[in-house]
Amino acid sequence: MFSISTLVDVVRIPPRLFGTTLKKAARDILKEKYESMINAELGYIIMILDAKVDEMGKMIAGDGGTFHKVQFEALTFYPKLQEIVQGEIVDITDFGAFVRIGPTDALLHLSQVMDDYLKSDVKSGMILANQSGRTLKVGSTLRARITAVSLGKAAAMGKIGITCRQPFLGADEWITEEIKKADGSGEPTKEAKVEAS
């Protein structure tokens, strides 16, 4: 889930940035410190949006910089258990596929794709279903449910597991087929087409 979080910190403005505006200097320092960081409570910090810097800073003896309290907003992405996400397959491996969801990749293990015997063909970048003939390949878009999230210190990059083994989950074309079957008419309704896209 994407959200905007308000955070508070103290930034050190080094003497080399004294010629720039206080707000720009603080934002540049915050971007360097926080962007692309993973926080156990906030998730993935994607970008710093705005910063309010206390104009009255403090100095410490022996340090040429000034220290300013700053309140800032950050765009974050925290994957929630059971959340439904849209993604694109970016890599096929022997054990499944990596799916890009938001700013990161989630693992779709072969056992979580569908109820069918599956074969992973890494060279051609495809996962093939034996009985149904369905395929997944690099570039395929799909809908999945998040089943595992680990963003603590032990997982420096974060680990996310997803599944497609539920009704109306999987590749976009599979969902369209399921909607046609559920509707009974063979042609998806206008509402179903909107939901599938």
Domains of the chain: 2-77 (3.30.1490.120), 84-196 (2.40.50.140)
pLDDT at 81: 93
Average pLDDT rounded to a whole number, residues 122-129: 87
Mean predicted lDDT score pLDDT of the chain: 86
**Dihedral angle of Cα 93, 95, 101, 104, to the nearest 10 degrees:** -70
Read off the pTM. Answer: 0.74
Alpha carbon of residue 9 to chain centroid: 25
Other C-beta atoms within 10 Å of 38: how many? 19
Specify burial of residue 30 (Cβ count, 10 A radius: 0-12, 13-18, 19+): buried
What per-residue confidence (pLDDT) applies to 112? Answer: 92
Instruction: For 133-191, write each residue's pLDDT tens digit.
Output: 888 999 999 999 999 998 765 445 678 999 998 888 989 988 888 888 888 765 555 55
Torsions phi, psi of 48, nearest 5?
-90, 130
Q: In this predicted model, what pLDDT tens digit does every residue of 66-81 receive, in sequence order?
A: 999 999 999 999 999 9
